[in-house]
Structure 1
Amino acid sequence: MNKTIWKLIIGFAVVMTFTGCGGADGAGNETETDTGPLHVFEWSGYELPEFWGQFAEQHPDTTVDFSFFGEDAEAFAKLQTGFQTDVFHPCSSWWELYVDNGLVQPLDLSRLENFGDMPESLTKYGEFNGQQYFVPWDWGYESILVRTDKVDQIPSSWNDLWDPAYAGHVAIYDSGETQHVVGSLVLGFDPYATTVEQDEAVVQKLTELKPNLLTYWTDYTEIVQLVASGDVWIAGNAWPDTLMLLREEGIPVEYITPDEGRMGYVCGFGIAANAENVDLAYDYINATTSVEAMTYLIDEYGYGAANSLALAEADQETVGLLQIADPDILNQTVFYESVTPEQREAFVSNWDRVKAAP
């Protein structure tokens, strides 16, 4: 998954501690079960008080301790070792692993105040064996970003990445899973149900893309600079906030919806199986999925928000530019899904083969 701007400041394992500062009115009185502190395992950048102000008002004397992770694999490995947290925030392609390994507990939907305002197209990824284990929070697109002043014709398909007219001016994201999905979509395969033979076809297809590639991009600043300089005309797997930033700089770019659909990610909150403060965990999730918090996510981070009511409150220019209110685009989007360890290993191995090919 992609945490864009905030991935620039990750890579450290620190704990930040906050104490709620809301008024202690009747709604803020804590019960005997609200002992705290609440432990939250989070991506850096999402600990801001704007995301949990409702919780601070409800529990003014409760401490919130944030620990941070930089990648999903890191978070999963840490919980496997018995790391204690109450709430954690992984992304959808890892969710089933937490369920299968008993690291997350099923959610009581009656305690989730905003769940009914979330589209089923997002909530379905957090359901396993008939129970909801994760509640979506942030989501976003991956698609093709085009320097419109550098090309004669705007691409309309993922397959257009292979167009010889773009030779030497294409950049794609350096991820085995991501490129497996791209290759599968181009070849008409279900990315998450490919056979060994289909995997080989994907490897061959991706290898055939190499003459068009300038580079594999690995972080947000890199692809922004490459597109801004004009070296990259076609940026595969770009994120919408890249579009926002380049537009602000006056760079002529367009973010397309390929015929096969955009790709997308969704991340969200779960309550750890070893959570010590379950009541507080539900209150925290309710705060972060409130209209106020979700509006802040859209306006300040450029991400889609799981609470659909936030769309009306957010800056409409931002909503329109990101196209996060268009149900047709959302319903056509191919979101990352949970994968087995064997699939993940195959994605990495096959991608290494592609990059090593002449």
Structure 2
Amino acid sequence: MKPKPSNTFIGLFCLLALTFCYNEAISARETLRVAAWAGYADADLVDRFQQRFDADIEVTFVGSDDDLWDKINSAGFDVFAVNTAELQRYIENDLVVPLDLANIPNHAAQLPRFQNPGAIPGLLHDGKLYAIPYTYAEMGLIYNRKLVKEIPQSMAAMWDPRYRGQVLAFNASNHNFSLVGLLMGADPFQLTDEQLRQAARELVRLRRNVLTFYSTADEAAKLFSRHDIALIFGNYGNQQVKALREAGADIGYVIPREGALAWLDCWAITQEAKNKRLAEQWINYTLERAVSQRLTDKHGLANTITPFPEERHGDKIIWLEPMRAPLERKRLWDRIISGEAPEAF
């Protein structure tokens, strides 16, 4: 007579079966891979999305446009945040796919200036939409009221020998060359080869004044608290201003007379996206009023759903445009931060 299995054995078998089924269900969940800037995918907002859409999210934060380019080219992402000027090379290299506005209904709630994608340079290519605006900011000049006695009127103040070792500049090839292009009176986005070399020499001169080149707003705030910083090139604009003031810093913020470069960051979906629908749901989710408002309330960034309270309409704002020779800018920038002398350019 065949022995009957014990209750203990049956219970163990059922437990193992349930564990297997649970693990299978977990592994069956979709995973959305997001590349974003600090503040664009806060942990609690990510958790809420995961619960609502029964999916997992892997967020990777980037520190510069060069860093983003390297990460997207190395594969492994579904959706990412990129400014309108940088977007062009992703389109040209077939790294992104067109979007269907019908799958992103919250677009209809965006502010009027973002309602017509055709009116924003860089969003359309061959009549197809490749990105949805999410947040924007101008890159002004932050100054320490304790060290800078007169309000600076130009970004050229960063080169002032009085501030040697007291300047924080941003670690990116594109904006730094465009900044110098503005000061040179040239088209900042279409610098010739000779103008790029001239700008490189000026950036080497700036290097003498720079304590370091930062990558994130949080990093800049920590450096400000630990060192005597006079001036900061505010790549994150009002986001940095808000963070510094909340930390007790006595600072001012100006848009220089030559104008300030300004970026418009958008969500785009990669060619390699495993689940385009889930990526569209993420974009649509970030355009919900409460989620977008978080950008302003917590991080000091303008969003595309509600008007920004401190927007100054009289300031000279220069929206980023596609650049000539971005790879040459990067090559020169790597040489600059490596310590090469002005004569090398």
Pair 1:265–1:348, CA change in 2 (3 A):
farther
- State yes or no: 1:133 paired with 2:130: yes
CA distance in 2, matches of 1:92, 1:245: 25
Please name the residue that 1:343 is paired with: 326
* One-letter identity of the residue aligned with 1:344: L
Q: CA RMSD for the aligned pairs?
A: 3.4
Instruction: Quote the offset at 1:222 in angstroms.
Output: 4.9
- The 8 Å contact of residues 99 and 131 in structure 2, kept in 1 or not, is answered as yes
Residues of 2 paired with 1:126 and 1:192: CA distance? 17
Identity score, percent: 21
Matched residue, 2:57? 65
Matched length? 305
Partner of 1:24: none
CA offset at residue 221 of structure 1? 4.8
- For residue 203 of structure 1, what is the aligned residue in structure 2? 200
CA offset at residue 350 of structure 1? 4.9
CA distance in 2, matches of 1:283, 1:210: 43
Distance 1:108 1:339, change over 3 A: same
Whole-angstrom distance in 1 between the partners of 2:194 and 2:42? 44
Matched residue, 1:42? 35
8 Å contact from structure 2 (residues 243, 299) kept in 1:
no
Could you tell me how far apart the structure 2 residues matched to 1:268 and 1:261 are? 22
Indicate the structure (1 or 2) with the bigger Cα radius of gyration: 2
Corresponding residue number in structure 2 for 1:314: none
Question: Structure 2: any 5+ residue segments left out of the alignment?
Answer: 1-24
- 1:109 Cα offset (Å): 2.7
Quick one: which amino acid aligns to residue 42 of structure 1?
Answer: A
Q: Answer yes or no: is the 8 Å Cα contact 2:137–2:302 preserved in 1.
A: yes
The answer for the alignment partner of 1:268 in structure 2 is: 266
Q: TM-score with structure 2 length normalisation? A: 0.74
Give matches, 1:72-83, under 5 Å.
73=66, 76-77=69-70, 79-80=72-73, 83=76
Q: Distance in 2 between matches of 1:66 and 1:138?
A: 21
**CA distance in structure 1 between the partners assigned to 2:249 and 2:85 by the alignment:** 33
* Correspondence for 1:257: 255
Secondary structure of 2:122's counterpart equals helix
Distance 1:287 1:150 in 2: 43
**Counterpart of 2:60 in 1: which secondary structure?**
strand
Give, in whole Å, the separation in 2 of the partners of 1:350 and 1:201.
Answer: 13
CA contact (8 A) 2:130 2:268 kept: yes
Instruction: Pick from 224, 229, 234 the counterpart of residue 227 of structure 1.
Output: 224
Residues in 2 aligned to 1:269 and 1:51: alpha-carbon distance in whole angstroms: 15
Q: Deviations for 1:35-93, whole angstroms, at most 9, x for unmatched residues?
A: 96252323376153436857855x4xx3233252535556545554663x543334444
Offset, 1:179 = 1.7
Looking at structure 2, the residues matched to 204 and 81 of structure 1 have their Cα atoms a distance apart, in angstroms, of: 31
State how 1:306-317 maps to structure 2 within 5 Å. 306-307=304-305, 310-311=306-307
Letter in 2 for 1:287: Y
Q: 1:82, 1:159 → 2: CA distance?
A: 39
AA paired with 1:217? F
What are structure 1's unaligned runs of at least 5 residues?
A: 1-18, 20-34, 312-318
Residue pair 1:137, 1:289 contacting (<8 A) in 2 also? yes
Does the C-alpha gap of structure 1 residues 293 and 233 become closer, same or farther in structure 2, counting only changes over 3 Å?
same
What secondary structure is seen at the aligned counterpart in 2 of 1:356? coil
Q: Alpha-carbon deviation of 1:136?
A: 1.8
Tell me, in whole angstroms, the C-alpha distance in 2 between the residues paired with 1:69 and 1:248. Answer: 23
Provide the C-alpha distance between the structure 1 equivalents of 2:107 and 2:152, rounded to a whole number of angstroms: 37
